[in-house]
Structure 1
Amino acid sequence: MSGQASYLLDRAWLDGRVQEDVVVSVADGRFTRVEVGAEHARLETTRLRGLTIPGLANAHSHAFHRALRGRTQRERGTFWTWREKMYAVASRLDPDAYFALAAATYREMVAAGITCVGEFHYLHHQPDGTAYDEPNAMALALVEAAREAGIRIALLDTCYLSSGFGAAVEGAQVRYSDGDADAWADRTHRLRAHQRPGVVIGAAVHSVRAVPREQLRTVVAAAAGVPLHVHLSEQQAENDACRAAYGVSPTELLHDAGALGPATSAVHATHLGEHDVRLLGESATRSCFCPTTERDLGDGIGPSRALRAAGSPLTLGSDSHAVIDLFEEMRAVELNERLATQQRGHWTSGELLDAATWVGQESLGFADAGRIAVGMRADLVTVDTGSPRTAGTGADENSLVFAATAQDVLEVMVDGVVVVRQGDRAEIGRELDEAIDTIWKAM
């Protein structure tokens, strides 16, 4: 983006508090000026009415799960029975269908104020497990979908080699596997040639059940210098099976493989012992909570506050996209703690906003985003403070976290470009309808 534009923000979340009459100037996708006070508003500005915050980071996404929303709720079951429906969708996608669904899903995210997504990607190959002519065709469909939607992406290319602690992949899982970690690393290395501004190519271990212990270090080595994410202890059954196979917890297994550290995000981190919490905290591994998915699947309530106290920073994701609403994810972290402890007041609104903005952006490889400050990426999300949900709530950070929803987002800027306004939602809905109907009609 060339040239410069200036904006007068009625209210803005700045330096950890809400401030009034903030003037920001943007050039080449970054903030070049951030000043507080109406007396600074002498240049020509566009006024953004409401409360403006930095761009939100969705640190954990499976774009194709969006096709399951509302279609898996009518039967009883568990995470494991839900997974069979997810596999059915996974078996039907090709690069074109994946692009259409992901582009619409990412547009829904941007309309909700999300300016960066961490896509935990494991749909690598054709339905029978053979590679596409372009081995990274499915990954590149996601990268192009993000470009189309106007969102930054950390493509977390995922190693998935086993259906469970050494067992061969089966069914839809044959699409996920490269055969061994060396082959996965080779394909991912070639994918990094497609990295460009607004795109980070990271890595992921699907889970300790899906990557054998002897191959974990290969993945860790290949992920050096990029974000590394991993599903961790989402289900108690995973913990039990890991102990039966290796004699340690999943967290201990990752620690022994050298997988923990500031560049790593442990997704879900639900069923942890005290030693697990200590290992994650002492290594400064991030904990990515996805409360709307964790309650939808009946996973349980993770120890978010204990992890933070131990030294593990919190990030947030919408995972299966049962809901795409980072405001809901923020407040759910606090409300879940209240349910678990029967006490109120575990997380401040400011801490939750940090998790949803700069901490999440950092976890995806965008350390230059998530704050309204000179030199940072120019992401702005303006929220309506007079909607039926937010009216009368004080128009401050508590209003955002405990009252606002994605529907209150008025306008979204990503890297200096306004990509969504409120009137775009009907068009996004039509795109989602078309993409999802195409998938289900093929089943």
Structure 2
Amino acid sequence: MTAYWCESAWLTGGFARRVRLVTQDGLIKDVLVGADAEPDDIRLAGVTLPGMANAHSHAFHRALRGRVNGGGGNFWSWREQMYAAAEQLNPDTYFALARAVFAEMVLAGFTVVGEFHYVHHRPGGQRYRDPNAMGLAVRQAAEEAGIRLTLLDTCYLEGGLNGGGHVELHPGQRRFSDGTVDAWAERMAARSPETDRVRLGAAIHSVRAVRREDLPKVVAASGSLPLHVHLSEQHGENLACQMFYGRTPTELLDEAGALGSHLTSVHATHLTEHDIELLGGTGTGACICPTTERDLADGIGPSRALHDAGSPISLGTDQHVIIDPFVELRGIEMHERLVTNERDRFSANDLLLAGSFNGYRALGWSDGGHLSKGALADFVTVRTDTVNTAGSAADQIIYSCVAADVSTVVVGGDVVVSDGRHRLGDVGRLLGLAIERVAGAVSL
């Protein structure tokens, strides 16, 4: 057993002081409130929170940060630059980049990540000797970085959708595709089994990338696995879907039997009132990625309306223009303030649930994201004496802290970050070396 004495902590019942978390075999064995520290306890000064969940990640997009601005453009022009970076990936470069990105996430306070994984094959689409070599690289990267992983193996079959129908794959997309749903499902079924740190999931890239007649097949093949999908991120997707199929992307997914508590819609930015009713009424989750949605000029989604309708809100860093769970959870609140001219659209507890428990549940880890007896021993401590947090009320720390204020991160009872330093060492150096092998090889 290992015990951690927390100066203060955010428990399932609310904020508490002098909390002793006793861990054993990767779980929280006991929670004692108002307790004195014992001699062998690890002392955590500041506020201890449940581990944060990054419910939507494309690890290799991190290579684009700070390199693709200038010259105008939009999501669709940015996508061409993303394809260029993807062309440089192989199992070795992908492992190095994902390991560094996942380590950056842990430093920031993330303890689990959902990797929306679609770079499956060689450039051009030829398979590796092991068809899941790229997914295995992601798994190994997460293990070394000390983060839990849900590998969301993505079905990506078409090049896009316009008013006339689906289009052929772009050359940069060919390595994403298995050709058919059956081939995707067969490869997905051959993945290495789950472990205590890795769980398996599936994804529909979007209604642009999977035909109407194939959507039910993907749903059936995913079975009981967590299923994720990019949904209505762009007006163009909605317009094309209406023109060709005569319905919204949400309605198309509903027709395919995809909606439900097992499904997480990513972005869910441009929705009709009926879409919101469908998602909320079926308990379909919504993963909001505020910094990405700002950076790519996607728009502001109806987070509060989805929440009120019954959709659990989770958070993701997506293309990693920044990796900071606290910036993301404040982002959904600040976007609501901009749209409504009202403050406190979400309570602090709502925001923390979005950043922790809801994300864990969306990724198939309902035993994590909360500090209670029997839960996964995943937690993060934020300092209260930094230039960002000094003077903040401890129970409002999520409104002032940033990733740099994280002092300790524990995953499965193991200390991965101590005194603000990751056990791998200089994560900035790891990032620089890995990104140079990918982004440095192309003009971005």
When the two structures are superposed, what TM-score results if normalisation uses the length of structure 2? Answer: 0.97
Q: Number of aligned pairs?
A: 436
Aligned equivalent of 1:173:
173
Deviation digits for residues 347-403 of structure 1 (CA, Å, limit 9, x no counterpart): 01110001111111011011110111111110120000111111111111x222x11
Q: Residues 332-361 of structure 1, C-alpha deviation per residue, up to 9 Å, x if partnerless? A: 101001111122221011100011111110
Q: In the superposition, relative to structure 1, how do residues 54 and 423 fare at CA in structure 2: closer, same or farther (>3 Å)? A: closer
Query: Which one-letter code corresponds to 2:373 in the other structure?
Result: V
Q: Deviations over 1:272-301 (max 9, x none)?
A: 000000000000000000000000000000
Whether 1:34 and 2:28 are equivalent positions in the alignment is: no
Residue ranges of structure 1 left out of the alignment (5+ in a row) = none
For 1:88, what is the secondary structure of its paired residue?
Answer: helix
Q: Judge conservation of contact 2:289–2:318 (CA < 8 Å) in 1.
A: yes
Q: How does 1:48-67 map to 2 (within 5 A)?
A: 48-67=44-63
Residue 44 of structure 1 deviates from its aligned partner by: 3.1
**Alignment of structure 1 residues 79-228 onto 2, 5 Å:** 79-165=75-161, 166-191=166-191, 193-228=192-227
2:331 matched to which residue of 1?
332
Which amino acid in the other structure matches residue 284 of structure 1?
A: G
Between 148-157 and 30-39, the greater mean CA deviation after superposition: 30-39
Name the counterpart of 2:9: 12
Quote the Cα distance in structure 2 between the aligned partners of 1:184 and 1:42.
53
Deviation at 1:421, TM superposition (A): 2.2
| Residues 147 and 42 (structure 1), Cα distance of their counterparts in 2 relative to 1, 3 Å cut | closer
**Secondary structure of 2:328's partner?**
helix
Match of 2:252 in 1: 253
- What is aligned with 1:399? 397
Distance 1:16 1:112 in 2: 25
The aligned counterpart of 1:435 is 434
Question: In 1, Cα distance between the equivalents of 2:208 and 2:109?
Answer: 34
1:160 partner amino acid? Y
C-alpha distance after superposition, 1:161-210 (max 9, x if no partner): 0011321212110001100111101110111x332221111000000010
CA distance in 1, matches of 2:261, 2:190: 25
Cα distance in 2 for residues equivalent to 1:339 and 1:47: 40
Q: Contact 1:161/1:177 (CA < 8 Å) preserved in 2?
A: yes
- Tell me: CA distance 1:125–1:417, structure 2 relative to 1, closer, same or farther (3 Å): same
Decide which of 413, 421, 426 is 1:416's aligned counterpart.
413
For the residues of structure 2 that align with 1:207 and 1:16, how far apart are their CA atoms? 38
Native 8 Å contact 2:107 2:420 kept in 1: no
Instruction: State the AA in 2 paired with 1:111.
Output: L
SS in 1 for 2:209: coil
Deviation at 1:43, TM superposition (A): 6.2
Q: In 1, Cα distance between the equivalents of 2:434 and 2:13?
A: 40
CA distance 1:423–1:359, change in 2 (3 Å): closer
Amino acid in the other structure paired with 2:174: V
Distance 1:190 1:141 in 2: 15
- Deviation, structure 1 residue 316: 0.2
Q: Distance in 2 between matches of 1:90 and 1:42?
A: 51
Partner Cα distance (1:176, 1:391) in 2: 47
Displacement of 1:231 after TM fit? 0.2
Report deviation, 1:73.
1.5
Matched letter for residue 316 of structure 2 = G
- Asked whether the 8 Å contact 1:151–1:414 carries over to 2, the reply is yes
Q: Distance in 2 between matches of 1:387 and 1:149?
A: 26
Contact 2:408 2:420 in 1 (8 A): no
Find the counterpart in structure 2 of residue 377 from structure 1: 376
SS in 2 for 1:266: strand
How far is 1:75 from its partner? 2.2
The CA deviation string for residues 203-250 of structure 1, in whole angstroms up to 9 with x for no partner, is: 000000100011011110011111000000000000000011100000
SS of aligned partner of 1:194: coil
Q: Is the 8 A contact 1:316 1:355 kept in 2?
A: yes
State the alpha-carbon separation in 2 of the partners of residues 438 and 178 from structure 1. Answer: 26
Distance, in Å, in 2 between the alignment partners of 1:14 and 1:70 is 37
Whole-angstrom distance in 1 between the partners of 2:367 and 2:285: 18
Amino acid at match of 2:375: M
Give the TM-score of the pair, scaled to structure 1.
0.97
Which residue of 2 is the match for residue 364 of structure 1? 363
Q: CA deviation at 1:160?
A: 0.4
Tell me the residue number matched to 1:302: 301
CA RMSD of aligned residues (A): 1.1
Task: Report if the CA contact (8 A) 2:28-2:372 is conserved.
Answer: yes
Does the CA contact (< 8 Å) of 1:111 and 1:421 recur in 2?
Answer: no
